[in-house]
């Protein structure tokens, strides 16, 4: 495959000094709801507020001098934007980020706060065209937010940490947008914990990976509609699809109300502030969309916490 465990191990050597080792928290409350032992990998506590910093730091570190000198252009609804802006600033590289006009203001402000130049497209389906225009005018290097081998390898370091803290983990439940995180986790799990299952969770309003699996190739969505902006990729990545087809047990779809319940559960029972994308895995477990087998040790990845107060108000409104 295009990403191997050796790539993930190499990424770890670069990522570890730059980022946090996030905690793996046992959750009795979640375990009681699903009838299995449960843990939460709190990537919402990672630098920039999500797992995306893992891939971004490694990907930027592997760029050539020529690529760095040309600058970077990327596209994101928010978390990858912040992470790549952070990584680029740390390396002294100029970055332009194309974001949808619907991106949460907190994510836009944070991306600018890391020094990035932010430009806007009407929605996520128009980001690729905007990036291509910027590339054509500036010659900047396009760092894809999820369809990039180095990004995926960096994300896999999350699973290495989990397996050091819980070597007997049996089921990893992961939110899916374009597929970068679940691909990296699947590579690490397959190599270090053969036999463990990896299951993805996608919003029914943004089923990019599920559509790709069913069609056998990436399919561009005509419309994206979900509260989980961090999972709102308009098309699955080619590299992630290759890995998911081979190493992931299943990708299930859940409605926004399931994701919202995950946000509420994490806030009230685990005392974790998670954005909807970060709560999708937990919500799917609570709703029974992903079922643990008897005796399994379950890890839900809380992938991010970059949520604005207005979104939280909507989720908690009676």
- Of 147, 172, 195, which residue is a domain's last? 147
* 141 and 13, same domain (yes or no): no
Please report which residue ranges of the chain form alpha helices under DSSP H: 5-18, 28-34, 52-61, 65-70, 79-91, 105-113, 127-138, 149-155, 157-165, 180-192, 208-215, 238-247, 256-269, 276-287, 309-316
Domain count, the chain: 2
- Of 147, 180, 215, which residue is a domain's last? 147
Q: How far apart are CA 194 and CA 170, in angstroms?
A: 9
**Domain range for 95:** 53-147
* 62 and 99, same domain (yes or no): yes
* 266 and 172, same domain (yes or no): yes
* 211 and 274, same domain (yes or no): yes
pLDDT tens for each residue of the chain, 318 residues long: 799 999 999 999 999 999 999 999 999 999 999 999 999 999 999 999 999 999 999 999 999 999 999 999 999 878 999 999 999 999 999 999 999 998 888 889 999 999 999 999 998 889 999 999 999 999 999 999 999 999 999 999 999 999 999 999 999 999 999 999 999 999 999 999 999 999 999 999 999 999 999 999 999 999 999 999 999 999 999 999 999 999 999 999 999 999 999 999 999 999 999 999 999 999 999 999 999 999 999 999 999 999 988 889 999 987
The pTM of this model reads: 0.95
* 227 and 80, same domain (yes or no): no
Q: Which residue in the block uniquely carries the two structure tokens 């600058």?
A: 71
Instruction: Please tell me which residue in 52, 76, 107, 126 is annotated as part of the active site.
Output: 52
* 301 and 184, same domain (yes or no): yes
* CATH number (domain holding residue 177): 3.40.50.1100
Q: How far apart are CA 120 and CA 18, in angstroms?
A: 29
Q: Is there a catalytic annotation at residue 126?
A: no
* 163 and 198, same domain (yes or no): yes
What 3-state DSSP class applies to 251? strand
Q: Is there a catalytic annotation at residue 52?
A: yes
- Of 126, 147, 168, which residue is a domain's last? 147
* 27 and 168, same domain (yes or no): yes
* 41 and 66, same domain (yes or no): no
* 226 and 78, same domain (yes or no): no
């Amino acid at each position: 495959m295009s990403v191997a465990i050796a790539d993930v191990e190499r990424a770890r050597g670069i990522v570890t000094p730059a980022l946090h080792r996030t905690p793996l928290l046992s959750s009795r409350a979640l375990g009681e709801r699903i009838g299995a032992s449960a843990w939460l990998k709190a990537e919402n506590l990672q630098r920039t507020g999500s797992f995306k910093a893992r891939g971004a730091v490694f990907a930027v570190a592997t760029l050539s001098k020529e690529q760095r000198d040309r600058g970077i252009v990327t596209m994101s609804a928010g978390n990858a934007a912040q992470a790549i802006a952070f990584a680029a600033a740390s390396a002294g590289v100029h970055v332009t980020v194309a974001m949808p006009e619907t991106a949460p203001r907190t994510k836009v402000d944070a991306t600018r706060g890391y020094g990035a130049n932010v430009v806007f497209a009407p929605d996520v389906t128009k980001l690729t065209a905007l990036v291509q225009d910027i590339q054509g005018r500036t010659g900047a290097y396009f760092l894809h937010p999820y369809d990039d081998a180095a990004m995926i390898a960096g994300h896999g370091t999350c699973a290495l940490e989990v397996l050091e803290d819980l070597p007997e983990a049996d089921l990893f439940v992961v939110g899916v947008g374009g597929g970068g995180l679940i691909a990296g986790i699947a590579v690490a799990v397959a190599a270090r914990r053969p036999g463990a299952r990896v299951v993805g969770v996608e919003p029914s309003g943004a089923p990019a990976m599920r559509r790709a699996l069913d069609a056998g190739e990436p399919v561009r969505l005509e419309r994206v509609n979900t509260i989980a902006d961090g999972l709102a990729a308009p098309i699955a990545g080619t590299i992630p699809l290759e890995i998911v087809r081979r190493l992931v047990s299943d990708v299930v779809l859940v409605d926004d109300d399931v994701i919202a319940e995950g946000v509420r559960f994490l806030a009230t029972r685990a005392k974790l502030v998670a954005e909807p994308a970060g709560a999708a895995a937990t919500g799917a477990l609570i709703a029974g969309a992903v079922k643990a087998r008897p005796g399994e040790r379950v890890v839900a990845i809380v992938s991010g916490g970059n949520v604005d107060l207005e979104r939280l108000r909507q989720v908690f409104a009676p």
